[in-house]
Amino acid sequence: MQIPLQITFRGIPHSDAVEAKIREKASKLDRFHSHIMSCRVAVESEHHRHHQGNQYHIRIDITTPRKELVISREHHDKQAYEDIYVAIRDAFNVATRQLEDYARIQQGKVKTHDLQSSGTVIRLLPEKDHGFIEANDGHEVYFHRNSVTGSGFDALAVGNEIRYIEEKDDLGPQASIVYP
C-alpha cells in the first residue's frame, strides 16, 4: 500500500488486539491486487441493545488507481455481529472477493459471450416485411422488419454489413436483433 493503513474506532475504546487482527488481514490484501493505494478501516459499535451484547460494524474503504471499493457490514445488513473478530473476518473476506473480481476484470480474464455475429444483407423483401443475411460462414439467416434496430428496415440495402443475434427455431436460423 502506498498510504499507510488507517484504522478508526467509533463507539468503542481502542484495542491493540483488534488493531493487530485488522493489520494482519489488511497486509494480505496486496496478494489479491498489487496496486492498492490506500486502505481505511472503521470499527463501530452500537450500545443500544441491552438484551444482547454490543453489535459491531466494519467498514473497509480500499482505493486503487481506477476504482474505490467500499465494504460495509452495518446494522441494516442481515447479520449483526456480536463478535468483533467474526465481523472483521467476514468484512475482509468480502474485500478479498471484491479485489479478486476487480483484478480479473482488469486482466481481461472475465468470460464474455460474444452473441453477436456479422454478415451481409443478401435479400430484402419489403412487401413481406423480411429479408435474409449471409453469415460470414456462408449460411443464410432470416430476419423480420421488427428485429431491425436503429434507422430501421427501410434504411437497409442489399450489400449492407450488419451485426445480429442469431437464434434457432423450427424453421431454421433467424436474427432476433439486427444492428445496421
pLDDT digits (tens, 9 = 90+) for 111-136: 555 568 889 999 999 999 999 999 98
Taking only the tens place, the pLDDT of each residue in 130-180 is 999 999 888 999 999 988 887 789 999 999 999 898 887 777 888 888 888
Domains of the chain: 6-107 (3.30.160.100), 116-179 (2.40.50.140)
Concatenating the DSSP letter of every residue in 3-64 gives S--EEEEESS---HHHHHHHHHHHHTGGGT-TT--EEEEEEEEE---SSS--EEEEEEEEE-
C-alpha span between 59 and 72 (Å, rounded): 4
Taking only the tens place, the pLDDT of each residue in 68-113 is 888 885 544 445 678 889 999 999 999 998 888 888 777 766 555 5
For residue 141, give the nearest of 160, 159, 118 by alpha carbon: 118
The pLDDT score that the predictor gives to residue 73 is 56
Q: What is the mean pLDDT of residues 32-43?
A: 87
The pLDDT score that the predictor gives to residue 78 is 47
C-alpha span between 66 and 102 (Å, rounded): 10
Find cell 447479520 and name the residue. 79
Taking only the tens place, the pLDDT of each residue in 9-34 is 998 899 999 999 999 999 988 887 77
